[in-house]
Amino acid sequence: MREAFAHCGFNQLRTAELLGITRNAVRTLLVNHGLLKGRA
């Protein structure tokens, strides 16, 4: 996940397109991997 996110310039939509998943799924994965802060 970290490599895909970095490869896409830390762009969530591009990462989603690369991985073939939704942007919301990317956000969930980023939060789970500690790469994005979750909602308070």
pLDDT per position as a tens digit, 1-40: 999 999 999 999 999 999 999 999 999 999 999 999 987 6
Confirm whether 23 is domain-assigned: yes
* Closest CA relative to residue 36, chosen from 24, 19, 18: 24
- B/e letters for 15-30, b = 16+ CB within 10 Å, e = fewer, are bbeeeeeeeeebbebb
Q: What is the pLDDT of residue 40?
A: 65
Q: Evaluate whether residue 19 is within a structural domain.
A: yes
Residue 25 lies in a domain: yes
- On whether residue 38 sits in a domain, the answer given is no
pLDDT at 24: 97
* In-domain check, residue 37: no
Residue 40 lies inside a defined structural domain of this protein: no
> Which pTM does this prediction carry?
0.86
Range of the domain at 7: 2-32
Count: domains in the chain? 1
Domain membership of residue 39 (yes or no) is no
Alpha helices, DSSP H, located in the chain: 2-7, 12-19, 23-32
